[in-house]
Amino acid sequence: MKNIKKSQLWSKDFSCITVATILSVIGGEAMNLPISLLVFSETQSTFLSSLIMVCGMLPDILLPVLVAPLIDKGGKKKWIVNLDLMMFLIYIVMGLWISNHQFNYYLYIIFVLITGTISVFYRLAYQAWYPDLIPVGHEQKGYAVSATIYPVVTIIMSPIAAFLYDTISIGNIFLIVAGITLISVLIESLIKETRKKSKQRYTLEQYFKDLREGFSYLKNEKGIRNIYTYMSITNGTSHGIVLLTQAYYQTAPWLSVTMFGLLKSAEMIGRFMSGIFQYVLEIPVKKRYAFTKFVYIFYNLMDGILLFMPYPLMLVNRFICGGLGTSSATIRETAVKSYLPQHMRARISAFFNMIFAVGGVLSQMLAGVLGQVMSYKVAAVCMSCIPMMSVFFLIILPDKQNRPVYEATRVERE
């Protein structure tokens, strides 16, 4: 019986999209870390390093709403394959150019803006296409497979990417990722097209109408507002601390970029182990709120003291934080999605995706500035103080508004 279910889930199309997704994540990890390391190494500026990351985020703030109707018009496979072909060509051009020219900061600014823009189209098309490739009746297993790809690949690729940066030129890394992308294109081409078009065209006018309705709902839901506002703050500051941590590892003589890669792997292992734990054991509804408050306080504390620890304890720090962070995120999403009315879930999520992007941009810029005017250790402490104060005012203090959200179940709400 198990073999039959496996055969039904692992259809040709689902197998192809899974392999293509794995290759895409491998390529992204092999490219992102070396670029980040190179920019700081060449500029010695946390501000310029953060500016590169901000440029990669800008398209996520400006474009998704505008391009979504275009994605709905055509076949999703066509979008995915053509966008990956564009990325293949960009990687080839970048690899050949960089191999014969000196470092140019503005070239990398243009690169991340272009690839960030392409990723907006790609992500929308992928999210619309992926559900059609999961065999009917196997949705949960299909999404479980998807959810494990990123942490597992990151565990493996973070030290490899750091090793590649130390051993070969950035131009050759671009060419290697171009080859990975081309393989992904060939695999995606084997997938059968699913031309399911929306019966009702989703226009920009309709989007803003839905956004206003969602905002009106949020005005009366302080608990939801508190939780997601805090998440936009803590997600942003966490990314800023990662930038400062990377700079610290590149400047401290007893540390290395390979060790930084292993630090990321430790966090991903924690996330992966937490996912297994969440699958096996369920935290009681009445304990969700208390557990979440503990995790938020503990996580912010660990972020603040990370750079003051010896390296082995840094690994333990990130492993624990990775596990606890995933656990609290799972609890939060389960509670919030149960609390929200079914017809409001998508637009509330869309609204907060924009807020998260804005929070990420502001936090990256702040981390870059702080890294220029004080030590990386002190800057990380300053960054961790922001969510620590926020957790008190947005999560702990408004108990009456937040507790019903964390204790919501679908039976109660639906």
- Domain end position, chosen among 134, 168, 191: 191
370 belongs to a structural domain: yes
406 belongs to a structural domain: yes
Separation of CA 249 from chain center:
22
Q: Which of 281, 297, 295, 299 is nearest to 328 (CA)?
A: 295
| Least trusted range by pLDDT, from 150-159, 238-247, 309-318 | 150-159
Give the total number of structural domains in the chain: 2
196 belongs to a structural domain: no
| 3-state SS string for 111-172 | HHHHHHHHHHHHHHHHHHHHHHHCCCCCHHHHHHHHHHHHHHHHHHHHHHHHHHHHHCCHHH
Residue 7 neighbours by CB under 8 Å, 6+ apart: none
What's the CA gap between 253 and 242, in Å, rounded?
Answer: 18
Q: Do 308 and 352 fall within a single domain?
A: yes
Residue 224 neighbours by CB under 8 Å, 6+ apart: 218, 336, 339, 340, 348, 405
386 belongs to a structural domain: yes
Please, is 17 exposed, middle or buried when counting C-beta atoms within 10 Å of its C-beta (0-12, 13-18, 19+)?
buried
- The pTM for the full model equals 0.66
What's the CA gap between 238 and 315, in Å, rounded?
Answer: 16
Q: Do 271 and 151 fall within a single domain?
A: no
pLDDT of residue 294: 95
pLDDT of residue 3: 44
What are the tens digits of pLDDT across the range 94-117?
999 988 888 888 898 999 899 888
Q: Which of 190, 175, 193 is nearest to 18 (CA)?
A: 190
Q: Check which CATH number belongs to the domain holding 232 and give it.
A: 1.20.1250.20
Q: Do 21 and 167 fall within a single domain?
A: yes
- Check pLDDT > 80 for residue 400: yes
Residue 182 or 360, more confident: 182
- Domain end position, chosen among 191, 211, 227: 191
Q: Do 186 and 285 fall within a single domain?
A: no
12 belongs to a structural domain: yes
Cα torsion angle, 240, 274, 221, 204, sign: positive
The parent domain of residue 29 ranges over 1-191
Q: In percent, how much of the chain has pLDDT > 70? A: 80
Q: Do 122 and 208 fall within a single domain?
A: no
- Residue 56, both tokens: 């990669």
Q: Do 322 and 215 fall within a single domain?
A: yes
Q: Do 158 and 248 fall within a single domain?
A: no
In single-letter form, the type of residue at position 307 comes to L
Q: Do 153 and 264 fall within a single domain?
A: no
Q: Do 124 and 267 fall within a single domain?
A: no
pLDDT of residue 7: 45
150 belongs to a structural domain: yes
Residue 75 or 380, more confident: 380
What are the tens digits of pLDDT across the range 319-355?
999 888 877 877 787 677 668 775 565 556 656 767 7
197 belongs to a structural domain: no
Q: Phi and psi dihedrals of 172, rounded to 5?
A: -70, -30
- Domain end position, chosen among 129, 156, 191: 191
pLDDT of residue 77: 85
Q: Do 12 and 121 fall within a single domain?
A: yes
When the pLDDT of each residue in the chain is averaged and rounded to a whole number, the result is: 81
5 pLDDT band (50/70/90 cuts)?
very low
- Residue 376, both tokens: 């990386």
Residue 233 or 156, more confident: 233
What are the tens digits of pLDDT across the range 246-261?
889 988 889 888 888 8
- Residue 390, both tokens: 């926020």
Q: Where are the alpha helices (DSSP H) in 340-375?
A: 345-373
Query: Any idea what DSSP says for residue 193?
Result: P
Instruction: List b or e across 52-67, with b for residues whose CB sees 16 or more CB atoms inside 10 angstroms.
Output: bbbbbbebbbebbeeb
What's the CA gap between 243 and 234, in Å, rounded?
Answer: 14
Q: Do 300 and 341 fall within a single domain?
A: yes
Q: Do 262 and 398 fall within a single domain?
A: yes
258 belongs to a structural domain: yes
- Check pLDDT > 80 for residue 278: no
